[in-house]
Amino acid sequence: MKFLASFLVLSLISTISLVNSDTLPSNEVWALTSFKEAIYEDPNLVLSNWNMLESDLCNWFGVSCTLAGDHVIKLNISGSSLKGFLAKELGQITYLEELILHGNNLIGTIPKELCVLKSLEVLDLGMNQLTGPIPPEIGNLALLVNINLQSNGLTGRIPHEFGNLRYLKELRLDRNKFQGPVPASGSSNFASNTHGMYASNENVTGICRSPQLEVADFSYNFLVGSIPKCLEFLPRLNFQGNCLQSNDPKQRPSTQCGGASPAKSQPVVDHQFHQLGNHVRKHHGLSEPTWLLALEIVAGTMVGSVCLIAILAAFQRCNNKSSIIIPWKKSASQKYHTAVYIDPEILKDVRRYSRQELEEACEDFSNIIGSSPDSVVYKGTMKGGPEIAVISLCIKEEHWTGYLELYFQREVAELARLNHENTGKLLGYCRESNPFSRMLVFDYASNGTLHEHLHCYEEGCQFSWTRRMKIIIGIARGLKYLHTEVEPPFTISELNSSAVYLTEEFAPKVCPLVSSLQIIKLANYNFA
């Protein structure tokens, strides 16, 4: 009887587990699996139990569900060093109340698809590497109480739609690259200690319309203008490190604010109109003819308008340069249309090669000089050009996702900005669908790797101490360049003698490709 009772209890528990799994909507299951797919590095293995063999997805690390187990309401994975993209499919978790991914290494943009989460109260994406603008649709998240986007690389203007968030209490946007004014304005007679009353004023706009706002941090951006009256209750430290019109010495120097001192950033056109007014008044006092006075006013107005248009055009051009979207359209057989934020100047010296060009240069891909489970390395010679090393990634098209494409694009942009005599130089890339190809093209280093020379015991193979010191100093210079002279710094996940190539003169070149091969590891991680 005891055995029968135990069996019935176990059966009941199993049944409840299965019911919980079945009652979780399929769109929420898909959203969670898509989130994992978009993560390409999980050093702390926090997502190790995220697998479909687990009967209850509500037991996955960082996932919290309702008591009935029928909806996901919280996703909290902070400080876990996750590297990857913010999956747009998270917008399908309809009842999500808290999205906390603070302190990871997420890249890419904030998907506007997240702005349909009507139940969201906490959005914490702080201390990541996100880029691009804040979607203006964020104003649709009416229940938001806490927004933390600090310490990213976000650009563009702060959306005035924040004013639609009536319950917003905390807003942290510090340490980004936001430009333009703080989107908030209202009556100049407003008392700073009664900021909650601002919501009832018809003349207020932007953030001033958030009556519950208690904490806001805008420091260390590139904001211009002045501190809005409705935000004067905030500490001045929360506005430091910008380009605001302020006597605060903690604002950015003029060299970081487009050359104009923050304290003297009044529009030029205002000064011109002021001079025009004085000029008109002076001539009016001398009783000049009316037609001449009218002509002067019209001419001055036209000059002022031209100057204003020129200023606005220059400002718009400056804004666009920092966040130009370069779309990389995928083949018709692939699922997503993807894009990354890349400064076009970075890619000016990087060429896109066709597969046929590289095939001819590498003797029909027969000249193999290295291989691994992840890649094959070919040597080639371009017609009338340099010797090249072509790294072809070993991955099947059916395992290639939209997020892998984003990662590949980002790696090309990252490698393209490196230019030092002791680092590998990216010459170009190949990206084709038929046959499926993802290749990176580098300068060829004719003397192989440092590992090959250190482990060669044949006669005449050993390095002299002078040559060893030269190689060591060259490696140190390359690492110094990567870590301190490139902004942002470039890190290599694994540095060993196989990642150091030697030229004909035995000058070392630190190869940053080691990090690029994470693409393959990501594919294996998600689809093995």
pLDDT tens digits for 368-390? 887 777 788 898 998 877 889 89
Question: Which residue is listed with tokens 């666009």?
Answer: 320
Radius of gyration (C-alpha) of the chain in whole angstroms: 29
Say how many C-beta atoms besides its own lie within 10 A of residue 324's C-beta.
Answer: 11
In a domain, 252, yes or no: yes
User: What's residue 165's pLDDT?
Assistant: 94
Give the closest residue to 336 by CA, choosing from 251, 392, 260, 403. Answer: 403
Which of 216, 233, 256 is the last residue before a domain boundary?
256
User: What's residue 300's pLDDT?
Assistant: 58
User: What's residue 271's pLDDT?
Assistant: 37
Task: Look up the domain containing 443 and give its range.
Answer: 352-525
Q: Give the integer Cα–Cα distance in Å for 37 and 51.
A: 11
For 179-242, give the DSSP string. EEE-SEE--TT--GGGGGGGGG-TT-EEGGG-TT--EEE--SSEEES---GGGTTS-GGGG-SS
Q: What is the pLDDT of residues 105-116, one digit of tens each?
A: 998 889 999 999
Asked if residue 525 has pLDDT above 80, the reply is no
Give the closest residue to 171 by CA, choosing from 160, 187, 156. Answer: 160
Q: Give the integer Cα–Cα distance in Å for 450 and 508.
A: 8
Q: Are residues 379 and 499 in the same domain?
A: yes
In a domain, 276, yes or no: no
Asked if residue 147 has pLDDT above 90, the reply is yes
User: What's residue 424's pLDDT?
Assistant: 85
Provide CB contacts within 8 A for 21, sequence distance 6+.
55, 56, 57
Strand (E) or helix (H) holding 476: helix 465-480
In a domain, 139, yes or no: yes
In which band, very low, low, confident or very high, does the pLDDT at 285 lie, cut at 50, 70 and 90? very low
User: What's this model's pTM, rounded to 2 decimal places?
Assistant: 0.63
DSSP SS3 for 505 = coil
In a domain, 436, yes or no: yes
Q: Give the integer Cα–Cα distance in Å for 125 and 110.
A: 9
CB 204 within 8 Å of CB 159 = no
Q: Give the integer Cα–Cα distance in Å for 90 and 117.
A: 9
Provide CB contacts within 8 A for 356, sequence distance 6+.
none
Give percent of the chain above pLDDT 70: 70
Say how many C-beta atoms besides its own lie within 10 A of residue 316's C-beta.
Answer: 10
Q: What is the pLDDT of residues 156-183, one digit of tens each?
A: 999 999 999 999 999 999 999 999 999 9
Of 162-171, 310-319, 328-337, give the lowest mean pLDDT range: 328-337
Q: Are residues 250 and 361 in the same domain?
A: no
In which band, very low, low, confident or very high, does the pLDDT at 320 lie, cut at 50, 70 and 90? very low
Asked if residue 101 has pLDDT above 90, the reply is yes
Q: What is the pLDDT of residues 391-426, one digit of tens each?
A: 888 877 877 777 778 788 878 888 888 888 888 888
User: What's residue 238's pLDDT?
Assistant: 93
In a domain, 143, yes or no: yes
Q: Give the integer Cα–Cα distance in Å for 303 and 320.
A: 26
Distance of CA 235 to CAs 64, 231, 516, Å?
A: 36, 9, 44
Give percent of the chain above pLDDT 90: 31
Task: Give all strands (DSSP E) within 382-456, no chain letters.
Answer: 387-393, 426-433, 436-443
Length of the chain: 528
Maximum Cα–Cα distance for the chain, whole Å? 117
In a domain, 490, yes or no: yes
How many domains does the structure of the chain reveal?
A: 2
- Provide the mean pLDDT of the chain: 76
Q: Are residues 170 and 54 in the same domain?
A: yes
469-492 average pLDDT score: 86
CA-based angle 225:229:232, to the nearest 5?
100
Q: Which pair of tokens denotes residue 140?
A: 């649709």
Q: Are residues 226 and 82 in the same domain?
A: yes
b or e along 186-209 (b: 16 or more beta carbons within 10 Å of the residue's beta carbon)? Answer: beeebeeeebeebbeeeebbbbbb
What pairs with residue 442 in β-bridges?
389, 426
In a domain, 5, yes or no: no
105-107 and 83-85 as β-strands: parallel, antiparallel, unpaired?
parallel
Residue bearing the bigger pLDDT, 410 or 362:
362
Which of 216, 241, 256 is the last residue before a domain boundary?
256
Q: Which pair of tokens denotes residue 467?
A: 């040559």
32-51 average pLDDT score: 89
User: What's residue 152's pLDDT?
Assistant: 94
Give the closest residue to 361 by CA, choosing from 331, 405, 394, 392. Answer: 392
Q: Give the integer Cα–Cα distance in Å for 321 and 129.
A: 19
Provide CB contacts within 8 A for 167, sequence distance 6+.
121, 142, 143, 144, 145, 212
The CATH number of whichever domain residue 116 belongs to comes to 3.80.10.10
The CATH number of whichever domain residue 417 belongs to comes to 1.10.510.10
Q: Are residues 395 and 500 in the same domain?
A: yes
Q: Give the integer Cα–Cα distance in Å for 113 and 292.
A: 59
In a domain, 291, yes or no: no
CB 341 within 8 Å of CB 347 = no
